[in-house]
Amino acid sequence: MILLKIILFIFLFFYLLKLLANILIPHFLKKYIENISQKERFNHFEDEQEERKKEGEITIEYTNKKSKKSVNNNDEYVDYEEI
């Protein structure tokens, strides 16, 4: 009889846990997604303000066209042959 009560208790515990998970997990995910979305909107708004420039303002962005190559080339070439 005690074994039956323990099994019933375990079954009810996991069933209630499943019900709570089905209710709480979507709620927490929704809150988390809203929070992330709100942060993204705020960051996008800041980026957009930085991108706006006054009319007639000139900006020059330099790119490094020269790639620095390794001057010290002490590598040894090994020719492989198939066996």
Q: How confident is the model at residue 14 (pLDDT cuts 50, 70, 90)?
A: very high
**C-alpha of 4 from chain center:** 46
Question: Residue 47 — pLDDT band, cuts 50, 70, 90?
Answer: low
| Residue 43 pLDDT class (50, 70, 90 cuts) | confident
Residue 53's contacts (CB-CB under 8 Å, 6 or more residues apart) are: 59
Give the DSSP per-residue string, 20-76.
HHHHHHHHHHHHHHHHHHHHHHHHHHHHHHHH---TT---------SPPPPS-----
pTM above 0.75, yes or no: no
The residue ranges of every structural domain in the chain are 25-51
